[in-house]
Structure 1
Amino acid sequence: MNYTRKLESKAFVGYIRISPSKVRRILDQIRNVSCEEAFIILKFMPYKACPIISKVLYSAVSNAKQQFGAKSHSLYIIEARADDGPVLKRFCPHAQGRGFPIKKRMSHITSTI
């Protein structure tokens, strides 16, 4: 049998205090795009998660260069995902003595090149 080894490089950051849904809308824009193009897209997007995602992406590119000696212009984003992390539960006072729950969500961001 002929097995081909896929050269994949991963980077992960966890427990980021931003909602996964807000991160996913940005990751949808850069999935299956070259890394150079993804950095340009992230640079000009006005969202809070963009610098965090670009750091994760830069780490994955550095891992690929270190492990396989890959050139940065030949790298593509295979997988980019944001998973749910723990939720901080808070309560805000509401009308008639009720407590209104507030969920402060966290996310784990994974990038595969």
Structure 2
Amino acid sequence: MNNNRFECHASAKYIRTSTHKSRRVLKQIQGKSYSEARLILEFMPYRVCKTIIKILESALNNISQKTNDEIDKQELIIKEAFVNKGPVLKRFQPRAQGRAFPIRKPTCHITIKLEV
């Protein structure tokens, strides 16, 4: 870390959404300031935005504990925001004539890194 450069991250695992849907939202906020990203997420129509806001707030709390002083939210930058694939929940839907139709319910792990 450089002079007064703090970096912190927060992650959430086993989120019940696909990586494609999460990545679509995370690309929009990467490189933006905290307050700008928060504003973008609040007005996006996607379900995963609520989860990403919680992760962003957690990262903010982590970095404020690390620095032990008040942080200007305009100076906070989202350095990295990425999503990894999690395990797939496999379920079956009964169909006609005793057949079973597989249903795959994907999960993902979301990580956000902030820098002051």
Give TM class, smaller chain.
Answer: 0.7 to 0.9
Secondary structure of residue in 2 paired with 1:72: coil
Unaligned runs of 5+ in 2: none
Residue in structure 2 matched with residue 20 of structure 1 by the alignment: 19
2:84 equivalent to 1:86: no
Structure number having the greater strand percentage: 2
CA–CA separation in structure 2 for the residues paired with 1:90 and 1:96: 18
Three-state SS of the structure 1 residue aligned to 2:85 is strand
Residue 45 of structure 2 aligns to a residue whose secondary structure is coil
Paired with 1:95 and 1:78, the residues of 2 have a C-alpha distance of 51
**Residue type of the alignment partner of 1:72:** K
Equivalent residue number for residue 31 of structure 2: 32
After TM superposition, which residue ranges in structure 1, 4 or more long, deviate above 6 angstroms? Answer: none
Under a length normalisation based on structure 1, what TM-score does the superposition of the two structures give? 0.88
The separation in 1 between residues aligned to 2:110 and 2:79, in whole angstroms, is: 14
Aligned residues: 111
Q: 1-side partners of 2:63 and 2:94: how far apart? A: 50
Relative to the length of structure 2, the TM-score reads 0.86
Structure 1 gaps of 5+ residues are: none
